[in-house]
Amino acid sequence: MKIAVMSCIHGNYEALNAVLSDIDDHNVDRIYCLGDLVGYGPHPNAVVEMIRSLDIPTCQGCWDEDIVEGLNACECSYPSVLAEKRGKLAHEWTNQVIHPEVREYLAQLPFSLRDENLCFVHGSPHNQHEYLLPEVDAFVAMERVLATGADILFCGHTHIPYVRCLGSHEAGSLDAAQLQIRVKLTGKSEQNMSFSAPLKRIVNAGSVGEPRHGRPNATYVIYDANSDQILLREVEYNYQKTCAAIIEKGLPPIFAWRLARGLEFAERADDPTHVCER
Partner 1 sequence: MQTLDITLVTGPSGAGKTTWIQQQIHSIADSALYLNLGADADSVDSTYLAAEVPGLKVLSITQLADFLAHPIPRAAIYLELGFHIDLTSLILPDQMADCRRVAVLSPGTRHTEWHDWADETVTGIEAEFTLQQPHFWRSALSRQVLDPASLNTFWYELTNGAYGVVQRAKGIFDMADGRSLYFDFVAGLPATPHLELNLPLWLNGRPDRFSGIEVVGEALEQETIAQTIKECCLEDHVIAYYQKQMRELVSEEVMG
- Contact residues: partner 1, CB under 8 A: 79-83, 85-86, 253-254, 257-258, 261, 267
What b/e sequence results for 221-233 when a residue is b if at least 16 CB atoms lie within 10 Å of its CB, and e otherwise?
bbbeeeeeebeeb
Cβ closer to partner 1: 28 or 73? Answer: 73
Question: To which H or E segment does residue 22 belong?
Answer: helix 13-24
Cβ closer to partner 1: 83 or 199? Answer: 83
Cβ closer to partner 1: 88 or 241? Answer: 88
CB of 133 to partner 1, least distance (A): 16
Q: Which of these, 273, 206, 268, 245, lies nearest to 93 by C-alpha position?
A: 245
CB of 251 to partner 1, least distance (A): 13
Cβ closer to partner 1: 83 or 232? Answer: 83
10 Å CB burial of residue 108 (0-12, 13-18, 19+) is: exposed
Neighbour tally for 235: CB within 10 Å = 18
CB of 7 to partner 1, least distance (A): 23
CB of 218 to partner 1, least distance (A): 22
DSSP string of 109-169?
A: --SEEEETTEEEESS-SS-TT----TTS-HHHHHHHHHTTT-SEEEE-SSSS-EEEEE---
CB of 153 to partner 1, least distance (A): 29
Cβ closer to partner 1: 30 or 85? Answer: 85
How far is residue 261 CA from its own chain's centroid?
A: 20
Cβ closer to partner 1: 199 or 247? Answer: 247
CB of 269 to partner 1, least distance (A): 11
Helix, strand, coil share (%) of the chain residues, nearest 5: 30, 20, 50
